[in-house]
Amino acid sequence: MKPKIAVFSLTSCEGCSLAILELEDELLDILGAVEIVNFREAMTERSWDIDIGFVDGAVSTPHDVEEIQEIRNHCKAVVAIGACSCQGGVNTLKNYRPEEDYRAYVYGEGAKHFPTLKAQPISAYVKVDYELPGCPMVKEEFLALVKAVLSGQKFELPATPVCVECKKKGNLCLYEKGIICLGPVTRAGCAAICPTFGSKCEGCRGIVGEEALQAAGVNLREQYDIPLDTVLADLRLFGAYQEETLP
């Protein structure tokens, strides 16, 4: 019996679900090993007999709450894919605005027909078995997770900050140009793609851990006289929920 997998989207741009469809050659190999039973972007059939449910998007409406609870009840394992699902992602920007402001901005006079909630990651509501962070998630990590689960092996995300990958590429650190970058506190795994192309890391893969936070706090102050709080203020784009839960 092939494992049955499903892909769901809550509040999001659904870019992480689309990233699965973009796997092309690799997707054919995966389809040989699993049965996709529920994937709104790709098929019309729906089944709720599911081994692994992949979920992109944050919980941001009462309907999202019902949906994530139903998904959890029907999936043996739940995998959060992408920053929205793992950390709340860009959806959490609304948490900093008065509710009546953003509802009126988005829905105008029809706002009363669209109930909303503070945006949160799915782990705020249900148990999550694995997380694949990033905006969008990293396709290679998706493939590695599927292979690990199918072969009964352990799957782990990198436990080092983006700076490690950035240094290996020989990039000039953006702090040397006076630009604040979240690489020292953000989980590696994206090949430091943003600083490699000249942009600062915005933290889309989430905070790597307490040790990295402490090390970054010391290093940034010693080398650049920048307090960690100033750096973490930039987390708001992708990690406002994380910002709330920082030690």
**Cα separation of 16 and 18, whole Å?**
5
Rule CB under 6 A: say whether 193 interacts with ligand SF4. yes
Which value, in Å, is the radius of gyration of the alpha carbons in the chain? 19
Q: Peptide bond before 121: cis, by omega within 30 degrees of 0?
A: no
In contact, 206 and 242? CB cutoff 8 Å: yes
Single residue of 90, 122, 185, 232 touching ligand SF4 by CB under 6 A: 90
Please, which residue, 150 or 173, has the CB nearer to ligand SF4?
173
Amino acid type, 188: A
Amino acid type, 48: W
Single residue of 202, 212, 235, 243 touching ligand SF4 by CB under 6 A: 202
Residues touching ligand SF4, count (CB under 6 A): 37
Rule CB under 6 A: say whether 171 interacts with ligand SF4. yes
**Cα separation of 220 and 230, whole Å?**
10
Query: Which SS3 state, helix, strand or coil, does residue 215 take?
Result: helix
Please, which residue, 47 or 223, has the CB nearer to ligand SF4?
223
Please state whether beta strands 50-56 and 35-39 pair in parallel, antiparallel, or not at all (unpaired).
Answer: unpaired
Q: Which of residues 40-69 bind ligand SF4 (CB under 6 A)?
A: 56-57
Single residue of 6, 7, 75, 83 touching ligand SF4 by CB under 6 A: 83
Rule CB under 6 A: say whether 235 interacts with ligand SF4. no
Single residue of 5, 12, 68, 139 touching ligand SF4 by CB under 6 A: 12
**Cα separation of 147 and 145, whole Å?**
5
Q: Binding segment for ligand SF4 among 61-69, 113-121, 124-132, 193-201 (CB under 6 A)?
A: 193-201
Rule CB under 6 A: say whether 89 interacts with ligand SF4. yes
Q: Binding segment for ligand SF4 among 34-42, 118-126, 147-155, 174-182 (CB under 6 A)?
A: 174-182
DSSP state of 144: H
Q: What is the 3-state secondary structure (H, E, C) of 85-136?
A: HHHCHHHHHHHHCCHHHHHHHHHHHHHHHCCCCCCECHHHCCCCCEEECECC
Count the Cβ atoms, other than its own, within 10 Å of residue 186.
28
Rule CB under 6 A: say whether 141 interacts with ligand SF4. no
In the bound complex, what is the minimum distance in angstroms from residue 122's beta carbon to ligand SF4?
12
**Cα separation of 81 and 54, whole Å?**
6
Please, which residue, 35 or 219, has the CB nearer to ligand SF4?
219
Residues of the shown chain interacting with ligand SF4 in the complex, contacts defined by CB under 6 A: 12-16, 56-57, 82-84, 89-90, 134-136, 162-163, 166-167, 171, 173-175, 181, 183-184, 186, 190, 192-195, 201-205
